Amino acid sequence: MNKYLEQNREKVKHLVENKSFDMFIMMLICLDAVVFGLMTSEHLSNGFANILFTLDRLCMAIFIVEMLLKLYVYSIGFFKSKWNVFDFTVITVSSFSFASYFIVLRTFRLFRLLKYINKFSKLKRIINIFSTLLPNFVAFSLVFAVFLYVFAIISTSLYGNVFIEFSTLSSAVFSLMQVFTLDGWASSIARPVMSVFEYAWVFFTSFLLISFLLILSFVMSVIDEIIKKDLKVEQTQKTSTTKTKTKKVVRTKKKSEKQ
């Protein structure tokens, strides 16, 4: 009995670890994404809406079966992988009946694509670079948030009584973000303020210059990080190649000594 179960588990393991199975699940997630997109439309006939709902439930059922198969194969070891924990959480949450009414919860299933994208070398490189640069981006976001907050308080104090764009902290942040993105900032924000406050140009010029310096610093740190990562990969490859050559030389010497 145990032998039969072990053989059965090996067959299931071969299935879930097969690249074709991964490709099938990835295509199913893509189909699910298309279904989600179509379901957001308000101009659907009842018949077509029912078809989409059935497809969505079918995809969900297959995802649950996939999860059960992997739990059967790996047992507790299934939860050692972060990706598996992520899959389990997303599928469990989206499988509850209440989640059907909250498309936001269900769309988290689409993030499972990242797991399968990670298996393709070129796409994996993009994911790796993104994960490497994430700490830099978080640091930049924190610094920029503090910088934006300070300038928002200053602008509210200086121009809040006259211009509605700076009347509250939230509106000041929004206006400064418009200046930062250069979205019609001169005609709609800066020039009207400068027509009342003569030296307002100092404020806006300072804000833009510091913003661009922060962005430049972030871009330079990104380039530096990518170069360091590439150098590290090259060194690792050279080291592994050297070790392989050394092993071959040692084997050749041993063979010649035996002869």
pLDDT in tens, 28-83: 888 888 887 887 777 778 888 888 888 888 888 888 898 888 888 888 888 888 87
CA-CA distances (angstroms) from residue 42 to 50, 128, 200, 256?
A: 13, 38, 47, 79
- Report yes or no: 140 and 214 within 8 Å, Cβ to Cβ: yes
Mean pLDDT, all residues of the chain:
81
Query: What CATH code is carried by the domain that includes residue 220?
Result: 1.10.287.70
Residue that finishes a domain, picked among 76, 98, 119: 119
- 3-state DSSP assignment of residue 162: coil
What's the predicted TM-score (pTM) here? 0.57
In a shared domain, residues 110 and 137: no
In a shared domain, residues 159 and 191: yes
Residue that finishes a domain, picked among 63, 89, 119: 119
Residue that finishes a domain, picked among 73, 96, 119: 119
The contacts of residue 229 (CB under 8 Å, 6+ apart) are 128, 129, 132
What is the per-residue pLDDT across 194-253, written as a single tens digit (0 to 9) for each? 999 989 999 999 999 999 999 999 989 888 887 887 777 677 776 666 666 566 655 666
pLDDT for residue 2: 65
Q: Which two tokens stand for residue 226?
A: 């990518």
Give the residue from 24, 25, 31 showing the smallest Cα distance to 52.
31
- Report yes or no: 16 and 70 within 8 Å, Cβ to Cβ: yes
pLDDT for residue 125: 72
Q: Which two tokens stand for residue 213?
A: 């310096």
- The C-alpha atoms of residue 223 and residue 212 are separated, in whole angstroms, by 16
- Report yes or no: 52 and 44 within 8 Å, Cβ to Cβ: yes
CA-CA distances (angstroms) from residue 234 to 196, 226, 246?
A: 59, 12, 18
In a shared domain, residues 62 and 170: no
In a shared domain, residues 142 and 85: no
The contacts of residue 53 (CB under 8 Å, 6+ apart) are 39
pLDDT for residue 214: 93
* Phi/psi-derived region of residue 168, left when phi > 0, alpha when psi is between -120 and 50, beta in every other case: beta
Domain residues for the domain of 71 are 2-119
pLDDT for residue 152: 94
In a shared domain, residues 163 and 87: no
In a shared domain, residues 77 and 132: no
Q: Which two tokens stand for residue 108?
A: 């988290």
What is the per-residue pLDDT across 127-179, written as a single tens digit (0 to 9) for each? 777 777 788 888 899 999 999 999 999 999 999 899 999 999 999 999 999 99
CA-CA distances (angstroms) from residue 242 to 112, 131, 231, 238, 250?
A: 38, 29, 16, 6, 12
In a shared domain, residues 115 and 130: no
pLDDT for residue 96: 67
In a shared domain, residues 87 and 139: no
Query: What CATH code is carried by the domain that includes residue 50?
Result: 1.20.120.350
- The C-alpha atoms of residue 81 and residue 87 are separated, in whole angstroms, by 10
Q: Is 257 within a domain?
A: no
CA-CA distances (angstroms) from residue 131 to 136, 143, 208, 217, 233?
A: 10, 19, 29, 19, 16
